[in-house]
Every structure is written in C-alpha cells, then in structure tokens.
Amino acid sequence: MKSDNIPKFFATLKAANPMPVTELEYTSVFELLTAVLLSAQATDVSVNKATRKLFPVANTPAKILALGLEGLENHIKTIGLYRSKAKHLMQTCQMLIAKHNGVVPRDRAALEALPGVGRKTANVVLNSAFGEATMAVDTHIFRLGNRTGLAPGKTPLEVELKLLKRIPAEYLVDAHHWLILHGRYVCTARNPQCQACQVSQYCAYTDKNSGTTKHGI
C-alpha cells in the first residue's frame, strides 16, 4: 500500500465507525484481561457466552480464586482449551493479589509476566483498557497487514512494528479495532468481500490464480 493511501484508508474506516470497541464484553480492566485470556483460539461470541455466566459470580481475582479450579472450569468449559485457560487464570489471579494488590498493572512487562498472558493479550489490555497506542496482531490483522500491503511481514511481531510505524498517529489508538472488525466481517480469510469493501480503492490485492491485481482487500 502506498504511503499516501494509508491516511485515506483509515479516514474511511473511521468515518464508517467513529468509536470502535472490542466485541468482548467487560465492565472492568480485570474482566477485560480475563476475557482476552480466555479468547485464545476461541471466538468472542463463545467467550461472551461463558463470561455472562462467570462474571456475575466471580469478576475479581479473589472471587475467581474462591471458585476453585473445578468451579472455574465448570463456568468456562464451553470454551476451547478451557482446562489450561482455567489453570492460567487461577495463577494470574494469585499473582495479581500477591504482587499487584489485586489490580491489573498498566505495564507491559508486568502484564506479560502473568501466566497465559503474551504480547498480544498485553497489547489488547493496554489499548482497550488504558487507551495506549498498541497493536495486538491476531490472525485477522496479520492477514490484513500482508494482503493489503499495509504492513507485510512474516511474523506477528514484524507486522505489529510495521503497523505502528506506518499508521498515522491520529488513527493509531483505534486502528487495532478497525482492522480486526474489517478482517472479521469484510476482509475474510476465504472469499474477501472486495466488492463491498469501502477501502478497496486503497488496496492492491493480488489474485494468485490469475496473476492479476484486484482493487480490494
């Protein structure tokens, strides 16, 4: 993607959705951290379905620990990999209480030190909860970065660093949400909806079958 087209690309996404937010449901930083931790290799829909039952019962580190491992597993067993996620969440709650007085830290290193919390999860929390200009590269953003030419890279970290460098500052805080939503509903992995894409004019998507270049994502 040409540098001149990047501001236009994001201005168009902003016009269509001025205040984008995550589709995960939460009412506190801890609830967000929990939801993101549970969302690995799972859909937001499935996570929301589970947390709607979990959060009314336990939405703080102390309350999660009070459930016990088996109790927590029973609340989230509809989510993939629920056993390992329950174990990590319990360990995270223990560490939050022991080291952070039960409060989710606003610090990347401290977040990534929590069990089950990697760079992507830390980026989501820093961005969605604290308004920091971070870029959590999931499968959708990784695909968009490469497919559109916005930020080609072989690894999520490479794509992340390129996005942070190329996206204009005025769009950076919300860019994560715009890209995820666009990848989830328009620039899908299979059969991207190029004809319905509002930013197709700024994107060169190569059709590997024909060897021609389409305008679209």
Domain match, 152 and 124 both: no
Which pLDDT score is estimated for 40?
87
pTM: 0.88
* Residue 119 neighbours by CB under 8 Å, 6+ apart: 112, 156, 157
Please state, in angstroms and rounded to a whole number, the distance separating the CA atoms of residues 217 and 150. 10
Which pLDDT score is estimated for 101?
95
Which positions are catalytic?
120, 138
By residue count, the chain amounts to 217
213 exposed, middle or buried (CB, 10 Å; 0-12, 13-18, 19+)?
exposed
Domain match, 97 and 43 both: yes
Tokens encoding 21: 């937010």
3-state DSSP assignment of residue 80: coil
3-state DSSP assignment of residue 215: strand
Which pLDDT score is estimated for 175?
96
Q: Are 164 and 133 in contact (CB under 8 A)?
A: yes
Which pLDDT score is estimated for 205?
72
Domain match, 111 and 70 both: yes
| Listed residues 103, 128, 153: the one ending a domain | 128
Q: Output the 3-class SS for 4-19.
A: CHHHHHHHHHHHHCCC
Tokens encoding 117: 């919390």
Domain match, 66 and 148 both: no
> What string of pLDDT tens digits covers the 217 residues of the chain?
899 999 999 999 999 999 999 999 999 999 999 999 999 889 999 999 999 999 999 999 999 999 999 999 999 999 989 999 999 999 999 999 999 999 999 999 999 999 989 999 999 999 999 999 999 999 999 999 999 999 999 999 999 999 999 999 999 999 999 999 999 999 999 989 988 899 999 987 743 433 444 443 3
Domain match, 117 and 183 both: no
The domain total for the chain is 2
| Listed residues 70, 98, 128: the one ending a domain | 128
Q: Which of 3, 90, 2, 112 is nearest to 38 (CA)?
A: 90
Domain match, 16 and 33 both: no
Domain that holds residue 167: 5-20+134-215
Domain match, 44 and 88 both: yes
Domain match, 80 and 105 both: yes
Domain match, 12 and 39 both: no
H or E element that contains 139: helix 139-147
3-state DSSP assignment of residue 204: strand
What CATH number has the domain bearing residue 209?
A: 1.10.1670.10
Domain match, 201 and 155 both: yes
Please state, in angstroms and rounded to a whole number, the distance separating the CA atoms of residues 204 and 206. 6
What CATH number has the domain bearing residue 54?
A: 1.10.340.30
| Listed residues 107, 128, 149: the one ending a domain | 128
Task: Tell how strand 213-215 and strand 204-206 pair up.
Answer: antiparallel
Which pLDDT score is estimated for 216?
38
Domain match, 56 and 120 both: yes
Domain match, 114 and 140 both: no
Which pLDDT score is estimated for 209?
34
